[in-house]
């Protein structure tokens, strides 16, 4: 009886560990920013909420909007305001990297 109890307890604990690690892996909010985006945090803050008053909050913004904004800086279509700063930031990013960063910032709550 005792043996059986321990076995089911262990199985239940294993299942709980598997479920929770899968949830973390699928959740961009709990995943560090991809390495190619680490420089973004110096201006936009650790989670997309900047301390700098003239840098936009991008945490939780729509990922498609963010990706389009980054593409427009890269293509030179967006040039107003402080766009020059961002043009420099995205010039060497691929579209896959832009999408990944847009999803990461969009997932920050
Ligand atoms: C040197 C500071 C700095 C760094 C580093 C930086 N940004 Fe920015 N970012 C800005 C500023 C300032 C703006 C506002 C630009 C403007 O006026 O269009 C901005 C704008 C943006 C916008 C547009 C937001 C909107 O609402 O339209 C996005 C998206 C963005 N940054 C993402 C990033 C990503 C991703 C990185 C890293 C690859 C990054 N930024 C790195 C300063 C920075």
Per-residue pLDDT of the chain (109 residues; tens, 9 = 90+): 555 555 555 555 545 444 444 445 567 778 999 999 999 999 999 999 999 999 999 999 999 999 999 999 999 999 999 999 999 999 999 999 999 999 999 999 8
Whether residue 36 contacts residue 90, with contact meaning beta carbons closer than 8 Å, is answered with no
Kindly state whether residues 26 and 44 are assigned to the same domain.
Answer: no
Same domain as 41, residue 64: yes
Supply the pLDDT for residue 6: 55
Token duo for residue 2: 């005792």
CATH number at residue 50: 1.10.760.10
This prediction's pTM: 0.83
Q: What is the pLDDT of residue 27?
A: 72
Choosing from 46, 68, 86 the residue with most ligand 1 atoms within 8 A of its CB, the one to mutate for a pocket test is 86
For ligand 1, atom 29, the nearest C-alpha belongs to 66
Count of domains in the chain? 2
Predicted pLDDT at 19 = 47
- Domain region containing 14: 1-31
Q: What is d(CA 80, CA 107) in angstroms, rounded to the nearest whole number?
A: 27
Q: Report the pLDDT value the prediction gives residue 17, as an integer from 0 to 100.
A: 46
In this structure, the residue with its CA closest to atom 34 of ligand 1 is 40
Kindly state whether residues 66 and 94 are assigned to the same domain.
yes
* Residue 70 shares a structural domain with residue 81: yes
Using the Cα atoms of residue 73, residue 78, residue 82 and residue 84 in order, give the sign of their dihedral. positive
């Amino acid at each position: 009886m005792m043996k059986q109890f321990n076995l089911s307890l262990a199985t239940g604990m294993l299942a709980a560990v598997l479920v929770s690690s899968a949830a973390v892996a699928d959740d961009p909010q709990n995943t560090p920013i991809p390495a190619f985006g680490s420089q973004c945090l110096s201006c936009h803050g650790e989670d997309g909420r900047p301390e700098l008053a003239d840098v936009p909050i991008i945490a939780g913004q729509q990922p498609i909007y963010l990706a389009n904004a980054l593409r427009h800086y890269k293509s030179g279509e967006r040039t107003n305001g402080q766009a020059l700063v961002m043009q420099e930031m995205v010039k060497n990013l691929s579209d896959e990297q832009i999408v990944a960063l847009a999803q990461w910032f969009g997932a920050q709550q």
